[in-house]
Structure 1
């Protein structure tokens, strides 16, 4: 019976890692839709969000069942609490990828990102994808050092967003109001994806150590 319980706990971790890879792929495809006006990629992201929602429900159902029937304590209890919070972050990241894809789809057949900001958006997307991929490894390995380091990496995303706003607010901006609004939203979406990755990493620190890590300064 105890072996089954331990297997269920490990299955939750495996599901979280799998979901994280799915979310990373969604962010990658949403970015392709955005930068390349790829309609198929946009539709794939939008349609695929249902699978992320369903995966969240499965993790939640298993976690609540174990909380109710096994009365876990210490590390097992922390794991289930962390899993419930991580899976909520993942579901929200999937939603953010959908938001990116919908902006891309709305502006098709044109590309939503003007040439002046394509490098910045591409860098923001690359940073977000890298952070999500690293989070999958952090969850799988329960790597506290990598989890703490990820919060520092979030500074790069903040720097890129500030750079984007400098371009948007420059008096030489020539692309009009609608693209500026799109880009402000896109910057926020990628920034929030990075924030959720950091949140997930912090949950892993709590899972392993029982302590919430200090915020990176």
Structure 2
């Protein structure tokens, strides 16, 4: 088989491999009527599964941080520490596997779009970090009475969780339109953040204890950043789909 034929075969297969990575269904590529399951395809599928497992763990971290903050659930704080260790493990392993794949398999130009798909690892890792930090902040807030802004902060947390879930589904389903839905929610979170920040900044009758106000400022800032990272994921999916 000549170079031109080999290049044509690889390009055809790479299109299928890219499709498989970003879809849940397990399909087979065919050449001359026979299934061709290559090492490259298996590696891509494994990486996709690892990214989604990491995303699921980050979702759980966000749920637990919400319980810790707004339900004063101390058990959630202890659970989130273990989950964060698992997230870190997936982060390091996926980075290593992806670097190895890109180096040894010599993907063609179209496959390099996968770089965008896996760049979201840093976004997932950061969301997990913020969730862990929110749980720590929750413990420090336990000794203070609830502040009136907590209701709206809880709404920010709910929106951030919805945005993360929507972004992960968009990755699996190759839904480029999900970016618009996530962006609308991000605008809502940003508006709420500005409102609550101004409320805290203009707080009257603050006596000697300022710690709870500083902690609450961190809470709403973390939630706003979590929403931003989810938006990054959704927008990257749109790029993967549309080019």
TM-score, length of structure 2 as denominator length: 0.78
Residue deviations 1:10-38 (CA, integer Å, cap 9, x gap):
22222222222211110110111111221
* Correspondence for 1:78: 113
Q: Do the aligned partners of 2:57 and 2:83 also contact (CA within 8 Å) in 1? A: no
TM-score, length of structure 1 as denominator length: 0.87
1:92 paired residue among 116, 126, 132: 126
Q: Do the aligned partners of 1:23 and 1:94 also contact (CA within 8 Å) in 2? A: yes
Cα RMSD, aligned residues only: 1.9
Q: Residues 103, 35 of structure 1: CA spacing in aligned structure 2 closer, same or farther, 3 A cutoff?
A: same
Q: Do the aligned partners of 1:75 and 1:207 also contact (CA within 8 Å) in 2? A: no
Q: Do the aligned partners of 1:135 and 1:200 also contact (CA within 8 Å) in 2? A: yes
* Correspondence for 1:4: 39
Corresponding residue pairs, total: 207
Which deviates more, 198-207 or 88-97?
198-207
Q: CA deviation at 1:75?
A: 3.0
1:168 aligns with 2:167: no
1:20 aligns with 2:52: no
Separation in structure 1 between the aligned mates of residue 220 and residue 135 of structure 2, nearest angstrom: 13
Separation in structure 2 between the aligned mates of residue 160 and residue 194 of structure 1, nearest angstrom: 12
- Which ranges of structure 2 fall in alignment gaps of 5 or more residues? 1-35
* Correspondence for 1:214: none
Separation in structure 1 between the aligned mates of residue 69 and residue 174 of structure 2, nearest angstrom: 33
Q: Residues 171, 189 of structure 1: CA spacing in aligned structure 2 closer, same or farther, 3 A cutoff?
A: closer
1:199 aligns with 2:235: no
Structure with a larger share of its residues in helix:
1
2:183 paired residue among 134, 151, 158: 151
Could you say which structure has the greater relative contact order, defined with CA pairs below 8 angstroms and 6 or more residues apart? 1
* Correspondence for 2:141: 107
Separation in structure 1 between the aligned mates of residue 80 and residue 86 of structure 2, nearest angstrom: 10
